[in-house]
Structure 1
Amino acid sequence: MTMHDDQVDVTTEVVAALIRDQFPEWSGKAVRLLPSTGTVNAVFRIGDDLSARFPRRLADAAEVLAVLEQEALASAELAQVSRFPVPEPVALGKPGAGYPMPWSVQTWLPGTVASDADPSGSDAFAEDLAVFVTSLRNADTRGRLFSGDNRGGVLAHHDEWMERCFEESEHLLDVPRLRQVWSRFRKLPRTDADVMSHGDLIPGNVLVVGDRLGGVLDTGGFGPADPALDLVSAWHLLRPGPREVLRQALACDDLEWERGKAWAFEQAMGLVWYYVESNPTMSRTGRRTLDRILESTG
Structure 2
Amino acid sequence: MSTGQMHPGVHPLDEGLVRRLVAGQFPQWAGLTVRRVPSGGTVNAMYRLGDTMVVRLPLVRGGAADLVREREWLPRLAARLPAAVPEVLGAGEPAEGYPWPWSVYRWLAGTNPEAGALDEAEPLAGDLAGFVATMRSLTLPGAPAAHRGGPVASLDASTRAAIEELRGIPQEDVDCDAATAVWEESLRAPDHDGPPVWLHADLMPGNLLVDGGRLTSVIDFGCMGMGDPACDLFPAWNLLPAPARQVFREALGVDDASWARGRGRTLSQALIALPYYRGTNPSMAANARHVIRAVLEER
Match of 1:7 in 2: 10
The Cα offsets for residues 53-100 of structure 1, whole Å up to 9 and x where unpaired, read as 1111146xxx93x54322211222321321111111222212222322
* Counterpart selection for 1:286 from 281, 285, 288: 288
Partner-residue secondary structure (3-state), 1:69? helix
What residue is the counterpart of 2:187 in the other structure? 186
The answer to whether 1:69 aligns with 2:68 is yes
- TM-score, normalisation: structure 1: 0.91
Alpha-carbon distance in structure 2 between the residues aligned to 1:46 and 1:181: 45
Contact 2:115–2:238 under 8 Å retained in 1: no
Q: Do structure 1's residue 36 and structure 2's residue 35 form an aligned pair?
A: no
Alignment of 1:198-217 (within 5 A): 198-217=200-219
Residue 151 (structure 1) aligned with residue 148 (structure 2): yes
User: In structure 2, do the counterparts of structure 1 residues 41 and 134 end up closer, same or farther at CA, with 3 Å as the change threshold?
Assistant: same
1:82 aligns with 2:51: no
Name the SS of the counterpart of 1:228 in structure 2: helix
Runs ≥4 in structure 1, deviation > 6 angstroms? none
SS in 1 for 2:32: coil
Structure 1 counterpart of 2:220: 218
- Take 2:166 and 2:82, find their aligned partners in 1: how far apart are those partners? 39
Contact 2:153–2:187 (8 Å) recurs in 1: yes
Is 2:248 aligned against 1:243? no
Q: Is the 8 A contact 1:94 1:102 kept in 2?
A: yes
| The 10-residue stretch of structure 1 (239-248 or 183-192) with the greater mean CA deviation from structure 2 | 183-192
Separation in 2, partners of 1:87, 1:3: 25
Structure 1 CA distance for aligned equivalents of residues 153 and 140 of structure 2: 24
Relative to 1, partners in 2 of residues 1:197 and 1:249: Cα closer, same or farther, differing over 3 Å? same
Distance between the aligned counterparts of 1:110 and 1:71, measured in 2? Answer: 19
Q: Offset of 1:179 from its aligned partner?
A: 1.8
**Aligned positions of 1:40-119 closer than 5 A:** 40-58=43-61, 64=64, 66-115=65-114, 118-119=117-118
Q: Give the corresponding residue for 2:260.
A: 258
User: Are 1:151 and 1:263, in contact at CA under 8 Å, matched by a contact in 2?
Assistant: no
SS of match in other structure, 1:219: coil
Contact map agreement 2:148 2:223 (CA 8 A) in 1 = no
What is the deviation of 1:227? 1.0
1:163 shift after superposition: 2.6
Q: Which residue identity lines up with residue 76 of structure 1 in the other structure?
A: P
More moved, 134-143 vs 10-19? 134-143
Q: CA RMSD in A?
A: 2.0
| Distance of 1:107 and 1:97 partners within structure 2 | 23
Q: Distance in 2 between matches of 1:13 and 1:226?
A: 42
Taking the aligned partners of 2:265 and 2:276, their CA distance within structure 1 comes to 17
Q: Distance in 2 between matches of 1:267 and 1:78?
A: 26
Q: Deviations over 1:116-173 (max 9, x none)?
A: 89437421111111111111111115375x73x6421100011121132123212132
Number of equivalent positions = 291
The aligned counterpart of 2:162 is 165
- CA deviations 1:30-60 (Å, max 9, x no partner) are 111000000000111111221111111146x
Is the aligned partner of 1:176 residue 2:173? Answer: no
Q: List alignment gaps of at least 5 residues for structure 1.
A: none
Once residues 150 and 21 of structure 1 are traced to their aligned partners in structure 2, the CA distance between those partners, rounded to angstroms, is 33
In the TM superposition, residue 115 of structure 1 has moved relative to its aligned partner by 3.6
For the Cα contact (< 8 Å) 1:119–1:208, is it kept in 2? no
Q: How do residues 225-240 of structure 1 correspond to structure 2 at under 5 angstroms?
A: 225-240=227-242
C-alpha distance in 2, partners of 1:248/1:25? Answer: 49
- Asked whether the 8 Å contact 1:120–1:242 carries over to 2, the reply is no
TM-score norm. by structure 2 comes to: 0.91
Structure 1's 213 and 119: CA in aligned 2 closer, same or farther, altered over 3 A? farther
Amino acid in structure 1 at the alignment position of 2:132: V
- Partner letter of residue 243 of structure 1? R
Contact 2:44 2:56 in 1 (8 A): yes
Q: Distance in 2 between matches of 1:105 and 1:136?
A: 24
1:276 to 268, 278, 294: 278
Name the CA distance, whole Å, in 2 between partners of 1:150 and 1:165.
Answer: 20
Question: For the residues of structure 2 that align with 1:275 and 1:227, how far apart are their CA atoms?
Answer: 27
CA distance in 2, matches of 1:122, 1:75: 28
1 or 2 for the larger relative contact order (CA 8 Å, sep ≥6)? 2
Q: SS at the partner of 2:11?
A: coil
